[in-house]
Every structure is written in C-alpha cells, then in structure tokens.
Structure 1
Amino acid sequence: MLIEFKAENFRSIRDEVTFSLLASSDRSLDGNLIELDALRKNDRLLRSAVIYGANASGKSNVLLAMFNLQKLVMTSVRNQVGDSLPFEPFKLTPQCRSQPTRFSVFFVRKNIRYKYTVSFDSTKVIDEDLYYYPNKREALIFERRNTTEFKFTTDKRIQNDISKRTLDNVLYLSNSAQQNYAQTLEAFKWFKEELRIIGASTLSEYGELTIEMLNQDAGSKEAILRSLERADLGLVDVTASIEDVDLSDLLITIRKSLPRTFNRDSGKIQEININTFHLAKDKDGKEYNIPFDFNTEESEGTKRFFSLIGPWLKALSKGQVLFVDELELKLHPMLSEHLVKLFHDRNFNQNNSQLIITTHNTNLLNDELFRRDQIWFTEKDADVGNTNLYSLLEFQVRRDQNILKGYLMGRYGAIPFISS
C-alpha cells in the first residue's frame, strides 16, 4: 500500500511536490479508509484519490514520476558502464538542468512500513537510502551518499560486497535485490508486484491482461463476464487469444483486419484475436449468441472498458496500488464512477487495494463518492511554469458547500483560463 510519494525536478515538477494517501481526521465515508497495524497510532490510509487540473498542468507528470521511479528500480540493474539514466529535469529554470531529480516513496509491504529515497542525474545515482519500521521503530537498511559512499548497520560484510559490485548508474536497491539480499528484496517486490501504472497512451485497447485472465481459469473468466454485464455493454460472452507470429511467415500471414502488437518483453510480434458475443433472437423468439468482431464491430467505449477490467480485477485481487491516467477516456461518466466504487466497496476490495486516477470528469466531484482528503489538484505557476500539487483540504471547504460548483467557479484553481 502507498502512504506518500514525493517528486522534485522532474519534467514540469520543479519544487518538491507531495502526494499523500494518509487520511485526515474526518470520519465521513469510513468505507473509503484502510486501517493497518503497521501505521502510526491514529493513522489511516485512503483507498483512492483523484487528481484534477487543466490540460498541461502536470497531472500526468505526477503519475509519470511514479512510473519512472518504478522503471528505474526494475531496470537499472541491466545498465552497463556509460549507460544513461532516465533524467528529465525541469527545463524552464536553467539551474535545474544541472541538479538531480529526487523521488521519495513511503509504502507498506507485508504489514511493515518502508521509506525509499533516490536522487540521480543522467550519469549516476547520487544519493539513495532505504529505511523500514519493524515494530514501528525506524531502522536503516542502507544509506548511499555521493554515489559511492555507503553506510550499513546490519549484514555489513554482505552489503559491502554488494556495494562494491554496484555501478554508479545502478540502484543499490535493484542490485542487492537481484542478488537475493533479503533486507531489500521485499521493498523491491513492492515495486514489482504491488504497483501498476496505466498511462493514457500506454494501455493497449486490446487488453492483453484481460485476455490472459479470460484464459486463466473459469473463475477469472466468470469475473470478467460479470463485470462486462454490469457495465451494460450488451456482451454475453467473449473468446480471445494471443498467438506468436512466426516471423519467417509474416509476409504471408499478415491480414490487415487482425490487430498485432509487439511484445517488448519477449521481442515477439503477436496476433490478437477477440470475438464478442451478443444475444439475438430468431423469428420464433428463441435466443442465441451471435459473434461480433471486436476490432471492427465494437464501440470505442467497449474496447476501453474491456482493456481496463483486467488490470482492475487483478489490482483488487492482489492488493495492488493502481494508477490510471485520464480514466474518463471513451467511458460514460457512470462507468467511471462504477470503476471507482469497486475500490471503495469492501466486498470487492478485500485486500486493501488503492486507486489513484487523473480525470476531467467533474461528475466524480461529489461528497458521496470522495472525501475531501481524496481530492487533489494540479496547477501551473503562471510566472515559472512549474506544477503545483495540492489537496482540497488546504481550502477548508464547509460541509454544506458544493465542491463541483466551487471547482467550476475557479475557487480551487486547477482550471483553464481561456481568453476571449
């Protein structure tokens, strides 16, 4: 579970911004809250949060910052001497281009809190440290300063050996986990297993994960079909497959009507076949299923929902933290609300999964869906051009005040100012 995330000097984010899923003292909508033994006394976590803002205000960059941290943790161990790191500093202030990017994340894994921080530029990791809180007391796992200066309090011989084999452009967290060092492995697994980030342009409309779940077992397929039925898309069944294409026969087998994707993990071209089934009646009124071609005969909204429902159900079943950029794309507002409510419903969300979305769908701005501490905004600084991230809590909105009306009137900022 995610507690808090901080980012500094990344894309449109110049000064440090903090995104927190720690709940306020407000007791409304307690179904939206998570209580854990691992947290400090009286602390609770939120099951979801929503980020609003004008176009180009930096909403997506908040999610992209978390994605880049995850990618860095997962892939830096592959770096060779001289390979560059994904350094994307704030460009509108000249001195920021020579300063490091810095990320910090607080999270819970197996009922233990962790705090991980890293700063880096294009050539090297500069600072890096990992703390954890067994028995709710802070303990250092490792500390890295000035790229090569390490400090350890436990397993000093083992960790010193690992540090000597850690390149300047490789995270110690990644390298030590790769070498199966137990103290860092759990933190690494949180990034690998419990964090999933879906960008507005990175989610395939063909829903490879949904297809995988359809073919996984009967229970998974039933869950997919039940969700599609609840969404009122008119589907009664779906069959789908993903098959590797033999490159030697590619020119012969290409058929423009069939979608293909390139799987970066396997380096293979894959052919995706999806057939949906709708209910029809013959002249005697007898019902039967008739197949539709998913690629050419289904609506864009149906394709979008199909691609989302796999990651959605997996996140709910695995207790994952799910980030989704621009949830409302091609979806009816009521479908977006339905997807959010699944994370708030303890019957569906039994594993304390969390959802963070960016959206322009103002229909979600209501007291029956989100608490005030779940609503966030991004706004560009008019003078410098950097992103500011802040919570609705900062405005001390009265309980009887209409949040949607206040937002559209510009009381909280984060809306476009369109010249006449």
Structure 2
Amino acid sequence: MLIEFSIENFRSIKEEVTFSLLASPDKSLEKNTFESEALNKGDRLLRTAAIYGANASGKSNMVMAFGTLREMVLNSMLNRPGDLLVHTPFKLDEGCLEKPTRFKVVFIHNNVQYVYGVAFTGERIVEEFLHYYPRGRKSLIFERKVGNGEQEAKFTKDRRVQKGILDRTLDNVLYLSSSAQQKYEKTMEVFRWFREELTVIQKADHPGLMDYTVELLGRSEEYKKLILKTLVAADLGIEDILVEYRELPFESFSSKLSGEQGWLSVRESRNKSELVDIKTVHRAGIGNVTGIENGNVNRIGSENENGNETVNEEWQEKGTEKVSSTVQFDFYEDESEGTKRIFYLIGPFIDALVNGKTLVLDELDLRMHPVLCEYLVKLFQDPSRNKKNAQLVFATHDVNLLDLNLFRRDQVWFTEKDPGTGSTELFSLTEFSPRRDKNIRKGYLAGRYGALPFIGAAEGLN
C-alpha cells in the first residue's frame, strides 16, 4: 500500500514535490478510504487519486518517476562497472544538471511501514536509506552515503552481513537491489513490494499490455470469469474471449511486420514463430437463417472479407421465430481502438483488485468514454469489489470525473508549471477547500484551481 512519494530534480520537477495517499480528516465518502494496522490510530489511506493538469505540466513525469524508481530497484543489480544510470535532471537550470535526482517512497508491506529513499547521478548512487516501523517504532535497516569521495554506511541490524554485501555492491547499483539478490531477508521484503505490489503503466496504450491480460486469461478460470464479467459490465458486447497459440511460417511472419502493432508485440514477446490469435465472442441477432425445423436452425454460413467463416454453430431458438447466435470477431481487425484499450487495461486492473496492488497509470481516459473511465475508478472505490484495498493512481484530462460525489477533495491533485522557472508544482484540491456541494468541474474549467493551459492568440492564423 502506498502512503506517499516524493520527487526532486527529475525531468520537469525541480524542487521536491510530495504526492500523498494519506487521507485528510475530511469525513466525506469514507468508503473511498481504508484503515491499516501499520498506520497511526485514526489515519486512513485513499483507494484512488487523480492527477489533473495541462499538457506538458508534469503529470506524465509523476507517473514516470514511479516507473523509474521501480525499474532501478528491480534491475540495477544488472549494471556492470562503468554503466551509466538513467539520470534525467531538471534541464532549465544549469545548476541542476550535476545534482542528484532524489526519490523517497513511504509504503506498507505485510502490515509494516517502510521508508525508502535514494539519490543518484548518472555515474553513481550518492545516498540510499531504508527505515521501517516494526511494532510502530522507527528502526534503521541501512543508510549509505558518499562523503569526501568515499562511501559511508550505517547498519543497526546484521552489521557484519550487511557490510559484506555493501562491499560487493557497485557504485552504480542500489544496495536494496544487491542485498535482495543476495537474499538478505529484510531488504527482500521491500524488493517484493516493488516487484509484486507496485504496477506502473507509463504508456497506457502500449500493446505489450495485451500480454498482461492474455496471461491472466490463461492463469485460471477464476481470472477469466472476472475479466469477462468486467467486460460484460462495460457494455462492449463481448461474451467470451478465445485465445489460441499456433505456429506461424517464416514467410508469413515477415509479411506481417508492418501490420497491427498489438499483434506483433505479443509475437515478439514470445517465440517469433508463434502467433497469438485472439477472438472475441459477441451475441448476434437472427443472422443468415433459412428456416427452423424441429427446433434446429438451418443457416447460411457467413464469411468475412478474408473468406473466413465468423458465425459458429451455437444457435439457440427463442420462442418459435427469434434465434440468436454467437459471432467471433478477430480482436486485431474487428474490434475498435477503444475496446482494445479496455482489453489492455482490464488485466492490470483485475490483477490489482484481486491481489491488493497499487496501480499507477498514465492517461486513464485515452480512447475511452467518460462513463467507462468512471466505471473503472468505481471498481477500486467499491469496498465490496476492492476487498484487498488495492489503490489506483492515475493521470487524466477527463473533467467528467471532477465530482465531489465521486471523489473526496484529497483525492484530486493538480500539476502546474511555474511560469518563472518552468518547473512542475504539485498541489491538492484540499488547498482550496471547496464546499462539498461545489461544482469542482465547473470551477476547474473556470481556472479557479489553476492547472489549465493558457491559450494565447495564434497570430497569422486569422
């Protein structure tokens, strides 16, 4: 469970900003919050939070920061001597170029609160620390700093073991990653949170997300039922999904390279000689029927433009005249971009809800109807569906969600560029204290809360 995340000197973010899922004392919409034994008495966490702002204001950079930290934790142990770290400091101030980027995340794992922080340049880790709160009391696991050109470390637990691990850790590798790889249990717990409980989707239309949903469909019948139930509720007309893996001849593979990117990405992530076929099953009307005899339907097989039959044998008589059928659509060719988008997202959403994960997502509203966006948000906000206290953090432009009947004031965040420095500022709607009966959508579009684009006159276009 995520409590808060701080970012400094990363892309458009110059000064430290802190995003928090710790609920304010506001008593409205308490179902949008939940308790945890690891929090102080009376504290609660938010189930969801939305980040609004103009284009290029830093919303995506917030999500990217989550992804960058997660990627570093999971993969920095693969670095070799001399490998550079991905250091993208604030570029509009020359003084920031050589300064480290800093991240700090506060979270809960197995009912224990942790605080992990790191600072790094392109060449090395300059600071790293991990605290935790067993039985509610703060305790240091490790602290690592570079002072006077030399690495300094402090351990209060398992000093000899941790000192040996640090001696084997390169300057460009996180101690958290290195120690977890060497099976030091206290850091393995934190590593597991990043790997298993934090999901970050930076490009929400990335076709690789299809693999996520396809894998869940094949994992168990229970997952498939949950995915189908959600798709049916979304009113897409889909009643079933069929996935088939089949061999693809080399000449066919090469001829498809310029085709559907989603299709190609699944094949590339698996064996290149294997094609993943996805069919969506829809309920049709009467179809090409020649007559009904003794309850059996005589039909004329229908073909698509490729000459493939699309209507299967599952005909049903309703009364004495009306019949319906199921029709198989080719997912890549026949489904809309919006349907594909929902299919991409439904896997990560269901996975988060079932397993109590924190899902951080950019552009929730991309290619989706506002009603569907609201439906996906409500999946997380409904305690009867979100029994594991999963969390959803998303960037969006969908102002239809700006409703105090849907969100608490502490669930709405804004990013805005400082006109003087060009750096991203982050602030919450709570800073404006709108009344609970206020139309915050209207207020936002009127510029009352900032975070709107300034549209100037386009000279020469008149």
Provide the TM-score with structure 2 as the length reference.
Answer: 0.87
Q: Deviations over 1:98-150 (max 9, x none)?
A: 10000000000000000000000000000000000001100000000107211
The offset of 1:254, in angstroms, is: 3.8
Q: Kindly report which structure 2 residues correspond to 1:121-270, keeping only aligned pairs within 5 A, or say none.
A: 121-146=121-146, 148-200=151-203, 203-204=206-207, 207-241=210-244, 250-256=250-256, 259-261=263-265
What are the Cα deviations for residues 342-372 of structure 1, in whole angstroms up to 9, with x where unaligned? 0011111000100001110000000111000
Structure 1 stretch displaced more, 262-271 or 302-311: 262-271
Q: Which whole-Å CA distance do the structure 1 matches of 2:440 and 2:353 have between them?
A: 28
Q: Distance in 1 between matches of 2:205 and 2:172?
A: 26
1:279 to 265, 270, 283: 283
Distance (whole Å) between structure 2 residues aligned to residue 129 and residue 46 of structure 1: 26
- The answer as to 2:425 corresponding to 1:376 is no
Does the CA-based 8 Å contact 1:262-1:270 persist in structure 2?
no
Q: Name the SS for the 2:153 alignment partner.
A: strand
Query: Structure 1 residue runs of 4+, over 4 Å off?
Result: 242-245, 262-270
Question: Could you tell me which residue of structure 2 aligns to residue 106 of structure 1?
Answer: 106
Counterpart residue number, 2:294: none
Indicate how the Cα distance of structure 1 residues 168 and 243 shifts in structure 2: closer, same or farther if over 3 A, else same: farther
Larger Cα-atom Rg: 2
The residue that corresponds to 2:33 in the other structure is 33
- Residue 297 of structure 2 is aligned to residue 293 of structure 1: no
* 2:372 aligned to which of 304, 321, 335: 335
- In 1, Cα distance between equivalents of 2:208 and 2:228: 17
1:66-106 deviation line (CA, Å, top 9, x unaligned): 11000000110000000000100000000000100000000
Q: Which runs of 5+ in 2 are unaligned?
A: 290-320, 458-462
Report the residue type matching 1:302 in the other structure: T
Q: Which residue in 2 is equivalent to 1:49? A: 49
Give the aligned residue type for 2:278.
I
Q: CA RMSD in A?
A: 1.8
Structure 2 CA distance for aligned equivalents of residues 85 and 270 of structure 1: 35
What SS does structure 1 have at the residue aligned with 2:97?
helix
- The aligned amino acid for 1:28 is S
Counterpart Cα distance in 2 of 1:202 and 1:297: 18
Judged with a 3 Å threshold, the aligned counterparts in structure 2 of structure 1 residues 82 and 265 are, in CA distance, closer, same or farther, namely: farther
- Asked if 1 retains the 8 angstrom alpha-carbon contact of 2:404 and 2:438, the reply is no
- Which of 386, 399, 404 is matched with 1:367 structurally? 404
Partner-residue secondary structure (3-state), 1:131: strand
* C-alpha spacing 1:21/1:244, structure 2 compared with 1 (3 Å): farther
Provide structure 1 residue ranges, at least 5 long, that are not aligned to the other structure. Answer: none
Checking the alignment, whether the CA contact within 8 Å between 1:46 and 1:374 is kept in structure 2 is yes
Scaled by the length of structure 1, the TM-score of the pair is 0.95
d(CA) in 1 for partners of 2:232 and 2:444?
Answer: 34
Same amino acid, percent of matched pairs: 50
Retained in 2: the 8 A contact 1:53–1:415? yes
| Residues 22 and 46, structure 1, Cα contact 8 Å, conserved in 2 | yes
- Alignment-derived partner of residue 392 in structure 2: 355
Deviations 1:194-220 (A, max 9, x none): 000112356327711111122222221
**SS in structure 1 of the partner of residue 326 of structure 2:** strand
Aligned partner of 2:16 in structure 1 is: 16
* Alignment partner of 1:395 is 2:432: yes
